[in-house]
Amino acid sequence: MTVRRGAARRTELLDALVELLLAEGFASFTLDDLAARLHCSKRTLYALAGSKEQLVRAAVVHFFRTATVAVEQATADVPDPAGRIAVYLSSVADALRPASAAFIDDVAAFAPAAEIYERNTRAAAARIRAFVDEGVAAGAFRDVHTGFVADVVASTMVRIQRREVAAATGLSDAEAYTELAALVTTGLRVTVSGQS
């Protein structure tokens, strides 16, 4: 029972840490600041990770793991391939919506966190390719080169992750994913002669 309580407390603390970091970023925080803001001791934080850098990494991993579960749950019961892609990318957008510009900038500037974001971006792009493959095979999508579509989606996702889309367009990461979903699903639709 104590082990279960300890795991629940760890998850609760990581959730609170993620919420704080998403809202304010992490570059300017010290461990003392984080302990004060989370109403816990530094010793409690050290139980999660041995340093601020490891704590940030643990929080970023926790954020993406939680987001991945939510995104997969959202798409699990969507039978339509276009709907699945739209829901998947919209769910990615929803997961990223709480992430402030400060958080995204801090992730981009901190190599261990940027690598986690990049790895999750690659995994998401692979999921999109699988959805496109399924849609083409089912006749729901035009006969497209799925590798090319996946590459375009992956490239755009990487550009979003690197903040290049935000710099070029002013869109937040969440807004960019919403636009990407609309672009991809519209472009893949099977068209009937005389209709768009």
pLDDT in tens, 10-25: 889 999 999 999 999 9
* Structure confidence by residue, pLDDT tens digits, 156-180: 988 887 789 989 999 988 889 889 9
Q: What is the pTM of this model?
A: 0.81
Q: Which of 98-107, 138-147, 170-179, 185-194 has the lowest mean pLDDT?
A: 185-194
Mean pLDDT of 101-117: 91
Residues paired with residue 141 on neighbouring β-strands, in sequence order: 189
Within the chain, strands assigned E span none
As a whole number, the mean pLDDT across the chain is 87
User: CB under 8 Å, gap of 24 or more: what pairs does 25-34 form?
Assistant: 25/100, 25/102, 25/103, 25/105, 25/106, 26/56, 26/59, 26/103, 26/106, 26/110, 27/102, 27/106, 27/109, 27/110, 31/55
Neighbouring-strand partners of residue 157: none
Contact status, residue 146 vs residue 136, Cβ threshold 8 Å: yes
Which of 180, 15, 25 minimizes the C-alpha distance to 99?
25
Top mean-pLDDT range of 40-49, 152-161, 182-191 = 40-49
DSSP 140: S
pLDDT at residue number 192: 53
